[in-house]
Amino acid sequence: MRLFLYLSLPLFLLDQVSKLWIVRAFPDPREAGPQRMIEVIPDFFNIVRVHNTGMAFGMFNGNPYANWIFGTIGIVAVTAIILFWKKGAFPDRISKVAASLLVSGIAGNLFDRALPGRGYVVDFLDFLPPFYGKLFPSSGGHFPSFNVADSCICIAAGLLIISAFRQPTEQAE
């Protein structure tokens, strides 16, 4: 359980602090006027402010029930992960790290949805991968913006896939 807290809590805090900085430093994209963009690596990586009420890749963005639906899914998912953890469903270090990353990511985005006056997830990492614009012309070359919580969830998914194909050899905490 220590691994769970030592990993989940700092990543949750990093997610929230980074989103707070974005909200304070960048204008609200719903308001008229110039939008701010920090070009970190020219033609490859920017920091922007994007609001997402939907899920990954902006799917269902703008749906009036999205926050309720994804909020409920988030609460059920975090509860299930904690219960599975207590029952020993994550037998090795990789699966425990994955579960910790999932909880921090889900909690980070869930917290955004629940904040009074917010009701959306703040995304700010904007990448322009080579050839992405050719594969998805309507994207303007921009991969859908994401945040620290989204990164945790994606890394966790990859680790769970790896864990599923491994024989547990070590018992972690």
38-76 pLDDT, tens digit per residue, is: 999 999 999 999 998 877 766 767 777 888 888 899 999
For residue 129, is pLDDT > 80? Answer: yes
Please indicate, yes or no, if residue 51 is contained in any of the structural domains.
yes
Question: What pTM does this model have?
Answer: 0.88
Q: Which two tokens stand for residue 94?
A: 């990789």
Inside any domain, residue 105: yes
How many domains is the chain built from? Answer: 1
Backbone angles phi, psi at 88, to 5 degrees: 80, 25
**Among the listed residues 47, 77, 64, the one whose alpha carbon sits nearest the alpha carbon of residue 119:** 64
Q: Is the separation of the CB atoms in 49 and 36 below 8 Å?
A: yes
Structure tokens at 69: 């639906």
pLDDT of residue 67: 83
pLDDT bracket for residue 169 (50, 70, 90): low
Residue 172 lies in a domain: no
Catalytic annotation on 150? yes
Q: What is the mean pLDDT of residues 7-30?
A: 95
Q: Does 173 reside within a domain?
A: no
Q: Which domain holds residue 6?
A: 2-27+36-164
Which of these is catalytic: 15, 112, 126, 150?
150
Which two structure tokens, joined as six digits, stand for 98?
């994955």
In-domain check, residue 169: no
170 lies in some domain? no
Report yes or no on 154 lying in a domain.
yes
pLDDT one-digit tens code per residue, 143-158: 999 999 999 999 999 9
Q: Pick the catalytic residue from 15, 112, 123, 126.
A: 123
The pLDDT mean for the chain works out to 89
